[in-house]
Amino acid sequence: MTVTTPEDKKLMAPRRLTSLLDPGSLEFVAVQTEGIGAVSATGTINGREVVAFANDPSFQGGALGGAEGQVIVDAYALAMAKQCPIIGIWHSGGARLQEGIQSLKAFGDIFRVMTHASGKIPQVSVVLGPAAGGGAYGPALTDIVILGPEGRVFVTGPEVVRSVTGEDVDMLRLGGPEPHGRRSGVVHVVSETEEQAILDTRNIADLLGNKGSLNVAAVTDIDLGAFMPESASRAYDVHPIVDSILDPGTGIELHPRWAPNLITALGRFGGQSVGLIANNPLRLGGCLDSTSAEKGARFVRMCDAFGIPLLVIVDVPGYLPGVGQEWDGVVRRGAKLLHAFAECVVPRITCVTRKSYGGAYIAMNSRSLGATHVMAWKDAEVAVMGPVAAIRILHRRRLAEVPPENKDAVEKELAEEHKITAGGLAKCMELGAVDEIVEPSTTRSSLARALAAAALPDGTFARGNHGNIPL
């Protein structure tokens, strides 16, 4: 068992910044001095400049007062001036009680500069200890939140909860990986060790701050159809397809346990940073629901704000029906996804692999919402609903008169007729809803060509002009 001494804690903030930044690149801006519980520095990650700050847990548990607030506000001013990513290492017990309202003012100042920086420079938070009170809202206002094994995020601590509500809860259950990685969606990435949390932070900051450039020739084809089940009605895990589209070893899934029916991942594609969104039929059949719509909207806005193009892989049967969904705000939260895609200016390429039905067809970056390019596999179905469901509504009286032993055969015949009359992909091409039909084995190169065609003359991509958090 490793015992952390007070002297170890005193060195923790500088040591964490040193481990975060490239060897030899760290230059302190605000150094650790007696009575000030925050440190800031400049340095590089994979050769690209960043600004970083860290709370000092050795001084009153990293509680934040006026001096610490100024360190962070100054760090933001420097990052904005340099137009580079800023990274916060959070380990704070919240407001410093001895300073009273001054400590609350310090948090307010931090929240203001974070909001002004939103969508202008990448903001990444890594929580390596308690982040309480105002210290919880700091990370929540940033683009990406990584939680280390000792990280805990909560507005009110266990003792206050116990005294006010009578609930007996500890910090782990209140603000650890389970509540925030799976239930609340506050945390994007949960890391098993502090070292892994630092590595995840470096990788994400690199993807956001060092976007690279697209090399179409470097994108080789893989038969993505090999990852699909033989039966068109069988569920499957879309992760192998996502991993195969992105350059090997570059993908980082965000919110893997929160709303897992929709995958959101950052990675590289032909060397270019991209955001990838995919329905996952293994969870809820790939349906969209209120939570996944909100998850997708936040991700789309982040990528748009930083000029990171989007690849959208669609296999969606519709929105999840039910009273629970309506009460959970599927209309309000689903509208966020529509808004995010419709306002998006960054290139976004859609590929329909198996099906895209109903309102979810529109929401998953349809041409009518302004998708840059829409392609579909040759057997994909794009429709209001599946053919069997459609004919059960259109021909319900006729089907009611069919003997039970013949019903399956009649439904199959009517469904095939409906496919022809509805038009299928041919009708979609005629209407401009689908631009191209591609083979699963040539999807990667097709995506690369479509993305390259959408680049600006200098090889970069347009970016939106908005903050990251959708209201």
So what's the pLDDT on residue 7? 54
User: DSSP letter string over 244-261?
Assistant: HHSPTT--EEESSSSSTT
So what's the pLDDT on residue 122? 98
Higher-pLDDT residue of 466, 116: 116
- Residues 6 or more apart whose CB falls under 8 angstroms from that of 384 comprise 357, 358, 390
Which residues on adjacent β-strands are paired with residue 87?
Answer: 52, 124
Which residues on adjacent β-strands are paired with residue 54?
Answer: 39, 89
So what's the pLDDT on residue 62? 82
Strands (E), 164-297: 189-190, 252-254, 262-269, 272-279
Separation of alpha carbons 32 and 310, rounded Å: 41
Pairing relationship of beta strands 123-132 and 86-92 according to DSSP bridges: parallel
Give catalytic residue positions: 133-134, 359-360
So what's the pLDDT on residue 442? 98
Residue 450 amino acid letter: A
Separation of alpha carbons 49 and 210, rounded Å: 9
Query: Could you tell me the pLDDT band of residue 4, with boundaries at 50, 70 and 90?
Result: low
Return the closest-CA partner of residue 68 out of 130, 134, 148.
134
Residue range 362-420, pLDDT digits in tens: 999 999 999 999 999 999 999 876 666 666 766 677 777 778 887 788 777 776 776 66
So what's the pLDDT on residue 36? 83
Higher-pLDDT residue of 341, 58: 341
φ, ψ for residue 262, nearest 5 deg: -130, 120
For residue 395, CA distances in Å to 31, 404, 410, 411, 422 come to 75, 15, 10, 9, 15
So what's the pLDDT on residue 389? 66
So what's the pLDDT on residue 99? 87
Separation of alpha carbons 274 and 214, rounded Å: 10
Separation of alpha carbons 84 and 343, rounded Å: 25
Lowest mean pLDDT among 136-145, 170-179, 318-327, 340-349: 170-179
Please report where in the chains the tokens 């925030």 appear, as a residue.
Answer: 180
Contact 191, 250 (CB under 8 A): no
Return the closest-CA partner of residue 60 out of 84, 83, 35, 42.
35
Separation of alpha carbons 240 and 58, rounded Å: 44
**pLDDT over 70 (residue 150):** yes
Average predicted confidence (pLDDT) for the chain: 91
Strands (E), 282-323: 310-316
Query: Could you tell me the pLDDT band of residue 2, with boundaries at 50, 70 and 90?
Result: very low
Contact 63, 134 (CB under 8 A): no
Helix (H) or strand (E) holding 328: none
Separation of alpha carbons 258 and 265, rounded Å: 13
Lowest mean pLDDT among 11-15, 320-324, 365-369, 399-403: 399-403
Widest pairwise Cα distance in the chain: 87
CA angle centred on 81, ends 77 and 85, rounded to 5° = 80
The percentage of residues in the chain with a pLDDT greater than 90, rounded to a whole number, is: 73
Domains annotated on the chain, with CATH:
6-207 (3.90.226.10), 214-453 (3.90.226.10)
For residue 123, CA distances in Å to 54, 106, 176, 316 come to 14, 19, 21, 32
**pLDDT over 50 (residue 3):** no
Helix (H) or strand (E) holding 381: strand 381-383
Count of residues in the chain: 471
So what's the pLDDT on residue 260? 98
**pLDDT over 60 (residue 423):** no
Residue range 234-258, pLDDT digits in tens: 999 999 999 999 999 999 999 999 9
Residue range 43-80, pLDDT digits in tens: 999 999 999 999 988 888 788 999 999 999 999 999 99
Pairing relationship of beta strands 152-154 and 189-190 according to DSSP bridges: unpaired
Query: Could you tell me the pLDDT band of residue 1, with boundaries at 50, 70 and 90?
Result: very low
So what's the pLDDT on residue 409? 81
Separation of alpha carbons 96 and 61, rounded Å: 9
Contact 144, 124 (CB under 8 A): yes
So what's the pLDDT on residue 314? 98
**pLDDT over 80 (residue 309):** yes
Residue range 429-469, pLDDT digits in tens: 999 999 999 999 999 999 999 999 999 999 999 999 988 77
> Mean pLDDT over residues 311-315, rounded?
98
Q: How many CB atoms lie within 10 A of CB 318?
A: 21
Separation of alpha carbons 139 and 144, rounded Å: 8
Alpha-helical segments (H) within 83-151: 101-117, 134-140
Return the closest-CA partner of residue 310 out of 372, 385, 355, 249.
372
Contact 298, 461 (CB under 8 A): no
So what's the pLDDT on residue 326? 94
Separation of alpha carbons 293 and 470, rounded Å: 12
- Residues 6 or more apart whose CB falls under 8 angstroms from that of 120 comprise 80, 83, 305
Separation of alpha carbons 369 and 394, rounded Å: 28
Measure the N-to-C terminal CA separation of the chain; round to a whole number of Å. Answer: 46
CA angle centred on 298, ends 294 and 301, rounded to 5° = 135
Contact 117, 76 (CB under 8 A): yes
- Grouping H, G, I as helix, E, B as strand and the rest as coil, residue 437 is strand
